[in-house]
Structure 1
Amino acid sequence: MTGTNLVGEPAELKRFTGPQRAAVVMLVLGPEMGAPIWEELSVDEMKELSAAIAQLGRVPTNVAEHLLVTFSGEMGHMKSLHGSFETTERLLRGVVPEDRLNEIMEDIRGPSGRTMWDKLSNVNEVVLAAYLRSEYPQTVAVIMSKLKPDHCARVLGALPRDFAVDVIQRMLKLDHVQKSVLTEVEQTLRSEFMNNLSRAQTNDPHEQMADVFNAMDRSNEEALLTALEENIPDSAERIRQLMFTFEDLATLLPTALAAIVKNADKRQMALALKGATEEMRELFFGTLTERAAKMLRDDIATMGPVRARDCEEAQSALVALAKTLAERGEIALVDPGSEESMIV
């Protein structure tokens, strides 16, 4: 440390762990000067260092200068550095191959867990079921056999009944699954599902909180939002604007609503419509054939009394399905009356 103008160790440095201190150095070096170091790291070391950079946040200049004194002259004009997922991806791009970059970013941005199966067990069951229902039952059986039992049960419950029974039968007949088959399934999940899931995630806390409120039952949702409006009205208003509710399905283009009806679990849809207005029900019936609409009406009529909470959970599941279809590019969550509507 000879030659430095810094006196002693900055007090702020104490809150930085070893990996975080290394992350500051790599953040300052950038992709070009840091490339030789990245090339010497193992994949696990890259993941650990990348995660530290992504979660770093703001770094005081005196800390960065202390950790990289030879570059202090160049850094003197900086107020701070900022580590984020985007900064991490820019640093790694061009330094590591695209497939390794995707794997690293998926690991630090996607659901938590060391293996693909750990990560998959942390994906919302409705979101996962919406993806799996378009896969071959045999492939789904392999995937389900690798999930934790409690999560597997929830996903099976979110799948269409006949499809779920088919998957269970195949799971019962599963022998030892070849490693090559598992590897292929993992690669498909990573490229087609996890990467899309990671890209769909956002760093905006208001958007994240809107998703949380969407998953709540109505009474808690309204009580908490009302309380939030009294303390931070601007944030409460933004959350309300970002929330996509069951009633918002009525604003979608008919083709989008038809896609939701087609992909929905019929029992779950009947339960959702049991607690809906007659106008909302008619919109759903309008996407079906006369015979299918009659069957759905009969299912609702013969259901008998149900808990309001069960209806609300079923409605939330339909909203989650709509968002999943939108993320996959199959529908657009656009109000037909808005300026973003498309004429086809």
Structure 2
Amino acid sequence: MPNEDNVNPEEILAEMSGIERAAILMLSLNEDDAATIFRHLEPKQVQRLGMAMASLEDFSHERVVAVHRLFIDDIQKYTNIGIGSEDFVRKALTAALGEDRASSLVDQIIMGSGAKGLDSLKWMDARQVANIIQNEHPQIQTIVLSYLEAEQSAEILSQFAEKVRLDLMMRIANLEEVQPAALTELNEIMEKQFAGQAGAQAAKMGGLKAAANIMNFLDTNMEGMLMDSIRESDEEMAQQIQDLMFVFENLIDIDDRGIQTLLRDVPGELLQKALKGADDTLKDKIFNNMSKRAAEMLKDDLEAMGPIKVSEVETAQKEILSIARRLSEAGEIMIGGGGGDEFL
């Protein structure tokens, strides 16, 4: 099996302590799965592992792949119940990391191909990716931002100048599909690899929804400035993007059970700040899905709360929206009530 960049995984692992390997594995999981593992450890183990996770600096792609491969190999030594199955590994990684990142890892672990081309960018810091693509043609930058997850793309976009952000966002909104030849060329630019995996059909990416998803993750001030600029250039496009964005006021469209699920994951202080700038209808929706005592306490806290910066309110609302999106992706709540008629 060829190793990416001729780096031997055994050499990488030899340079790492057991606690470093464990830290990388834990950081690869989502918060809930990591918490489940922590509950089975002794207090001293939790402390050591937690400190290692907090202080870990080299979270490079090569180290992640090496640790994951070792983890799969070790499991196979102790059981053969399904672990050798690609389907099992795919499902396990999807549950832990989400579908997009799991797909990339399955290629690395099972097929031994490693992340190449565009997929390799998913594991990089936003500033790194911005540096890589900053001198590329805007159309290449557009494809990259459309291909990556919306949250990562928003972080990358924030590294560019305002004028460039406007141009790229409008290109993303206008993009509908990318021909195989273009994907092949782009992957060759990134890693000189991946040409055979582009497929024979055009890849659908970008579009108004992709632009709206990226806008959702931008800093509030940056989002507002960018939306104003888009509106000046193309008012219809700006309105279409706005309609597709999931904003704090859209929480009113979540059903009562979904609101109750969301509230269980939202810290009280965060909710209090977010509601400071909410309209009465949304506040009532929140209050009606809390116990009477909890609702009264929250109302009292809001009345007693002193002046708070608008930026703090917007930041709190963004954090709650991020929690809502995570729950939606996990299938625990349904956001965006506009499409309700399409369900039975």
TM range (shorter): 0.3 to 0.5
Instruction: Kindly name which structure, 1 or 2, has the bigger radius of gyration based on alpha carbons.
Output: 1
The TM-score with structure 2 as length reference comes to 0.47
Compute the TM-score of the two structures, normalised by the length of structure 1: 0.47
Q: RCO higher in 1 or 2 (8 Å CA, sep ≥ 6)?
A: 1
